[in-house]
Amino acid sequence: MKEPTDPRSSWSEYFILMSQLAASRSTCPRRSVGAVLVREHRVIATGYNGAPAGQPHCTEVGCLMENGHCVRTIHAELNALLQCARYGIQTAGVDLYCTDLPCRHCARNLVQAGVRTIYYLRPYESPETLSLVEATGVELIHLPWPNPDLETLIRHP
């Protein structure tokens, strides 16, 4: 936590704002989700929800719906983990900053990849996620919305 007089963005503000920036790259119109994986206050990977590389996006061909969910995309959290897999980056003990509470599928993958803490902004109806993180000892932190006015966070000369 930072002092009220401290003009700098806090670490949690910094990384959750980055997750929102990543979400701006989302290609599924149903929900824009962004994720940032962090180790020792350093970003190791980012992700947003979109179709696998080389495949058409929802924004081009529409969503692929199954049981009320779009299954065309790889979710933001999983894309961030897969970026680590692709480039050989260790994920044990990392923190996740995500615009949304992960779905139960992503939560399982995050637990198995060794994610230690999950920070998120928007709740999501997924009781399975809540029971899984509780059972596995992963810390879950619901963050308040950061200051959306970046101008106030950037000091000009």
Active site residues: 77
Min CB(50)–Zn ion separation in Å: 9
Q: Does 58 bind Zn ion (CB under 5 A)?
A: yes
Distance CA 102, CA 38 (A): 16
Cα angle 31, 32, 37; round to 5: 130
d(CA 49, CA 38): 18
| Secondary structure class of 81 (helix, strand, coil) | helix
Which region among 3-11, 13-21, 70-78, 119-127 touches Zn ion (by CB under 5 A)? 70-78
| 35, 38, 106, 138: residue in contact with Zn ion (rule CB under 5 A) | 106
Our finding on whether 130 is near Zn ion (CB under 5 A) is no
Q: 45 or 103: whose CB is closer to Zn ion? A: 103
Query: Does 70 interact with Zn ion (rule: CB under 5 A)?
Result: yes
Interface region with Zn ion, contact rule CB under 5 A, candidates 9-17, 35-43, 73-81, 90-98: 73-81
Q: Which two tokens stand for residue 90?
A: 């260790």
CB atoms within 10 A of CB 67: 5
Judged on CB neighbours under 10 Å (0-12, 13-18, 19+), 24 is: exposed
For Zn ion, which stretch binds (CB under 5 A), given 7-15, 62-70, 127-135, 136-144? 62-70
22 near Zn ion, rule: CB under 5 A: no
Name residue, tokens 């003009």.
Answer: 7
Binding residues (CB under 5 A) for Zn ion: these are: 28, 58, 63, 70, 72, 75, 103, 106
